[in-house]
Structure 1
Amino acid sequence: MYQPGHFEETRTEVLHTLVRRHPLATLVTLTAQGLEANHIPLLLRTQGVTRPTLVGHVARANPLWRETDLAMPVLAIFQGPQHYISPGWYASKAEHGKVVPTWNYAVVHAKGLLQVHDDAAWIRAQMVELTGQQEAGMARPWAVDDAPRDYTDRMVSAVVGIEIPIDSLAGKWKVSQNQPAANQATVQQGLQGLGSEAGAAMAGLVDALGVSAKKG
């Protein structure tokens, strides 16, 4: 990933937070046929492991677990908030007009070797953990054990577990750091004025950038 220094995010807690909030990863693997990409929810484990680890499961019919070259690292890409940035939002447009559109985004790239778990107990534990994370904010959280055991046993048997101990973690927060403070402020206003969740999420990241800069 192209990584200019002013867009690089290295704070582990910030990277982990994005992964947990946006667990649907694009998992890029190498096979004998070339590169493959699958979209898989991955749970980040930091407790009870020697290093942060991603765990998940894929359909047994998915060739990923059979055809991936296990000797080569895989790449899991987690996409956070993203948004088109209009040059019309820049305060400097009125000053000199030398502005162009861009795209703001926050992403995390995790690399490591893929491990396969064709073990019912391991898979069930992963399902329980991932479901617990995603249901935590529900008024009446659903749990795996809410479904009949014979039914969930069949579901478990239809998938294969995967695990990726993380060897490297990289974050890129492209959220208007290369713009003067006045432009950052008007970008926030423009995003908030859209009245959309995506706009509000990106405005929050731009605002957090300004707060962090003031503290620094």
Structure 2
Amino acid sequence: MYAPPQFLEINIDEIKAITQAAPLACIVAQTAQGLIANHIPLLSAPDGGLIGHVAAANDMHRLITEGQEVLTIFRGNDAYVSPNYYPSKAEHHRHVPTWNYQVVHVYGTINFQYDDHAKRAAVALLTRDHERRINGQHAWKMADAPKDYMQQMLDGIVAFQINVRTILAKSKLSQNRDARDYEGTISGLKAAGHNAMAAEMENRSKKPA
């Protein structure tokens, strides 16, 4: 990924926030049949890796070899940026459109897990995190489903863990603009309905340099 120094994201907390806010990652791998890509929700494991699961019918766990390196992409907020957002445009018109976005690339080796314990752990981690966020004390648990039904569902999946080797993150948020054009971009994004991107830029401008 092309990441000029001014857009390179090195803040660990910000990288974590991007991956947590956009857990549906794209896992890309080279196989004997060519490149494949699968969109799978992932969560961080206690050891810093990534945990997920796929349907047993998904050929991903057959096409990717054990311990193979994969690229996992987490896409954060993104928005089109018009030159009209910049107050300085009226003075010299030396601006072109661009795109603001946040993205995290995670490189690591993948290991598939077919045992019942690993599959239960993968599902429990995923549902616990999202159910608590949505339903609080009424969060759904695997124990809520009949045992035979839950076992049937588990028999139809394959768990996996990605052991992280390298993380490359990028926050392209108009850091290369002067203060008035930066503020103009925030106002323009708000007017266009890109409130999340505008809020991220506002929060960043308030952080110590």
Report deviation, 1:71: 4.7
CA RMSD for the aligned pairs? Answer: 1.2
Deviation digits for residues 175-216 of structure 1 (CA, Å, limit 9, x no counterpart)? 10111111110111111123x3xx01100121123122xx22
- Could you say which residue in structure 2 is the equivalent of 1:81? 77
TM-score by length of 2: 0.95
Deviation digits for residues 66-94 of structure 1 (CA, Å, limit 9, x no counterpart)? 11133531000000001111111111111
- Could you say which residue in structure 2 is the equivalent of 1:114? 110
For residue 134 of structure 2, give the secondary structure of its aligned residue in structure 1: coil
Does 2:128 align with 1:127?
Answer: no
Q: Structure 1 CA distance, aligned partners of 2:34 and 2:68?
A: 12
Segment of structure 1 superposing worse, 34-43 or 68-77: 68-77
Q: Is the 8 A contact 1:30 1:72 kept in 2?
A: no
Of 173, 195, 202 in structure 2, the residue corresponding to residue 200 of structure 1 is 195
Report deviation, 1:3: 1.1
Does 2:174 align with 1:176?
Answer: yes
Does 2:150 align with 1:152?
Answer: yes
What fraction of aligned residue pairs are identical, expressed as a percent?
Answer: 38
Q: Is the 8 A contact 2:67 2:111 kept in 1?
A: no
Q: Structure 1 CA distance, aligned partners of 2:160 and 2:15?
A: 21
TM-score by length of 1: 0.92
* Number of residues of Structure 1 aligned to a counterpart in Structure 2: 207
For residue 57 of structure 1, give the secondary structure of its aligned residue in structure 2: strand
Q: Which runs of 5+ in 1 are unaligned?
A: none
Q: Is the 8 A contact 2:113 2:119 kept in 1?
A: yes
Report deviation, 1:137: 2.1
Q: Which runs of 5+ in 2 are unaligned?
A: none
For residue 205 of structure 1, give the secondary structure of its aligned residue in structure 2: helix
Report deviation, 1:64: 0.8
